Chains A and B, each alone.
Chain A
Amino acid sequence: MLAYAIRRFGQSFIVLVFMSFLVFVGVYAIGNPVELLVNPQADEAERIRATAALGLDKPFLEQYWGFLVGAAKGDLGKSFVFNVPALTLILEKLPATIELAFVAMVLAISLGIPLGLVAGLKPDSFVGRGIMAGSIMGFSLPTFWVGLVLIMIFSVHLGWLPSNGRGETVLVAGIPVSFLTMDGIAHLAMPATNLALFKLSLLIRLTRAGTREAMLQDYVKFARAKGLPQRRVIGVHVLKNILIPIVTVIGLELGSVIAFAIVTESIFAWPGTGKLLIDSINQLDRPVIVAYLLVIVSLFVVINFVVDVLYSLLDPRVRLGGAAAAH
């Protein structure tokens, strides 16, 4: 287990360094941030001074080396625009993104599994077909357009829900959260629904397919033959077996929820890391772009690791060493 963890994180570390290099090369190639930061009327001397102040006059490899040395000390550079450490900027915005992603995931799970079960148990019924039609819609509707339609209906037409921001927040252990105030919940409702929709459709499909397959298995027939009530057969025998792939997918989708939050945050002006990334790309704020990617990728690495460990605990047939190679 320990050897596995060390090997796994070693590999991830190499990927991380390699990726930071690629991204660094990439953002290095995007236009000149000085042009955007300096007053357009500034003379040449002013420009050169600004370039030197940002350290952009040094050769590329020296810049990258400086970045690596800083990164090893936990310093990912200062934002060109805000002049504060990029990491601080991201960590300030991260709770908003994680809250949004978490609420969306909880919504998707608490609706997706029951609906998928119903659709799987009665695939040819009106309800079952209705749920499946809904999930096809959920797959086809582009997230950002659903967001617009939600705003159109609930903010503009009905005027029930606010269309931007986080609303009132309260501090929990020093971290601001929205979901504990009424105003915060009102602000959270649309973005979370928007973000949850795609995952909800995915979970419905997965649960339905798993249920249909499990219902044909011998252990279900046997449980029935024993005279167990339907509730116990489904609640224990079926659910326990279909949960294994579902948990894996939920874990893997956590990362993609955080990535897709970029879109949702942009639509609802949710002050999280995704919106920060889009703003930074538009302002050529290189250190923030690089820092965002490093933080997000590290987050993915940890999530994937936890999922693999959970998977091996849930399903004793899976051995951890082989999981990485066979993936």
Chain B
Amino acid sequence: MTEPARVEGPWVRFWRDFSESRLALVGLALLALVVAIAILAPVISPQNPYDLAQLDVMDSKLAPGEASGTGKTYWLGTDDQGRDMLSGIFYGLRISLGVGVASTIFALAIGLVLGLVAAYFGGWVDTLVMRIVDIQLSFPAILIALVLLAVLGQGVDKIVVALVTVQWAYYARTVRSSALVERQKEYIEAARVLALGQARVVFRHLLPNCLPPLIVVATVQVAHAIALEATLSFLGLGLPITEPSLGLLISNGFQYLLSGKYWISFYPGIALLVTIMAINLVADQLRDVLNPRLRK
């Protein structure tokens, strides 16, 4: 830049860098839409898909837009119980997104603390934590989650536990590697010289400087968590049928796919795809913006 440095707030700079990519802005807009739908599902859905009184078996397995016996039009068709697919997808998004975000927050918290502690104290604490991380990461996440769920059974709480278990190690590793670098720097030494408490040094001085790479990993992991939950639910091991996420809706429609009733599986899949893609687009741009090596 040739003009004299103007004082720019970090948020302003962040937004300017982020909005450089049109694709990322599209992703962000889509993500905002998905989140809005998930939050507002009970308000905007044409029907409450869990209220059996509102379902009509006569309307089951209607194709999108097909005229129904009750005079209602189902724009995305209905499933085997006469449930409106559009409403099902809105509610399903709510569950998929909720599970993805909740598991990411818990995993982030656990991974963050363990990673920071490992890097700050070093020695046997570090060895122990990182050994567990190494062993865990040498197995595919889906395998660990599958076995855990086989043991735990079905339920929202159980799938969150399984997702947290497979995810925390990524955060621990990311935090540790950046904390190891930051720990050597002078401001940490200065904080120590001031005789601040160890917790204060770790959480108020070390932590904020380790955050950028963590934010990138967390964004990508939300998408992973959503995809993994959908996959597990599809295999019949995730959520119970009373709380259908997008994966369960797709699984439910699978048996009708071969007879040509594609919409029961297809549209929830599109919703899942849009959600994951929007998050990935945002994450890709975040990676570029928050990477100090690429900063101009």
Contact = CB atoms under 8 A, between A and B. Distances in A.
A binds B: yes
Interface of A: 15, 23, 26-27, 29-30, 136-137, 139-145, 148-149, 151-152, 155-156, 163, 255-256, 259-260, 262-263, 266-267, 277-278, 281-282, 289, 293, 296-297, 300, 304, 327
Interface in B246-267: 247, 250, 254, 257-258, 260, 262, 265-266
A277 B273 CA distance: 27
Given A263-B231, A327-B134, A26 B147 contact: yes
Interface string B229-258: 011001111000000000100100010011
A140 B236 CA distance: 21
A26 to B, nearest CB: 4
Given A30-B150, A296-B143, A156 B223 contact: no
Contacts of A262: 142-143, 146, 235
Interface of B: 134-135, 138-140, 142-143, 146-148, 150-151, 153, 223, 227, 230-231, 234-237, 247, 250, 254, 257-258, 260, 262, 265-266, 269, 272-273, 276-277, 280-281, 284
A139 B138 CA distance: 20
Q: Shortest 9 CB-CB distances between A and B: which pairs?
A: A259-B140, A26-B151, A140-B277, A145-B269, A256-B140, A281-B150, A259-B143, A140-B276, A142-B227
A297 B258 CA distance: 35
Contact of A148 (B139, B257, B280): B257
A262 B247 CA distance: 16
A144 B250 contact: yes
Nearest to A136: B280
B234 to A, nearest CB: 5
Contacts of A289: 147, 150
Contacts of B151: 26-27, 29-30
Contact of B257 (A15, A152, A304): A152
B250 A145 contact: yes
Given A140-B223, A262-B142, A156 B260 contact: yes
Given A281-B150, A296-B143, A297-B139, A163 B258 contact: yes
Contacts of B269: 142, 145, 148-149
Contacts of B276: 140-142
Given A163-B258, A260-B140, A263-B142, A144 B234 contact: yes
Interface SS of chain A: helix
29 contacts: A23-B147, A26-B147, A26-B151, A27-B150, A29-B151, A30-B153, A136-B284, A140-B276, A142-B272, A142-B276, A144-B230, A144-B231, A144-B250, A145-B265, A145-B272, A148-B254, A151-B258, A152-B262, A152-B265, A156-B257, A156-B258, A163-B258, A255-B139, A259-B143, A263-B142, A277-B146, A278-B235, A296-B143, A304-B138
B228 to A, nearest CB: 9
Most chain B C-beta atoms within 10 Å of own C-beta, residue among A15, A281, A293: A281
Contacts of B257: 148, 151-152, 156
Nearest to B236: A282
Contacts of B281: 136
A277 B150 CA distance: 10
Contacts of A256: 140
Contacts of B280: 136, 139-140
Given A148-B254, A152-B265, A259-B139, 18 more contacts: A15-B135, A26-B148, A27-B151, A136-B280, A139-B280, A140-B273, A140-B280, A141-B273, A142-B227, A142-B230, A142-B269, A145-B269, A152-B262, A278-B235, A278-B236, A281-B237, A289-B147, A304-B138
Most chain A C-beta atoms within 10 Å of own C-beta, residue among B266, B273, B284: B273
A82 B23 CA distance: 54
Contacts of A139: 280
Nearest to B150: A281
Contacts of A136: 277, 280-281, 284
A30 B231 CA distance: 21
Contact of A300 (B139, B223, B262): B139
A148 to B, nearest CB: 5
Contacts of A255: 138-140
A282 B155 CA distance: 16
Contacts of B284: 136
Contact of B142 (A23, A29, A259, A281): A259
Nearest to A281: B150
Nearest to B258: A156
A263 B138 CA distance: 19
Contacts of A155: 258
Contacts of A327: 134
Contacts of B273: 140-142, 145
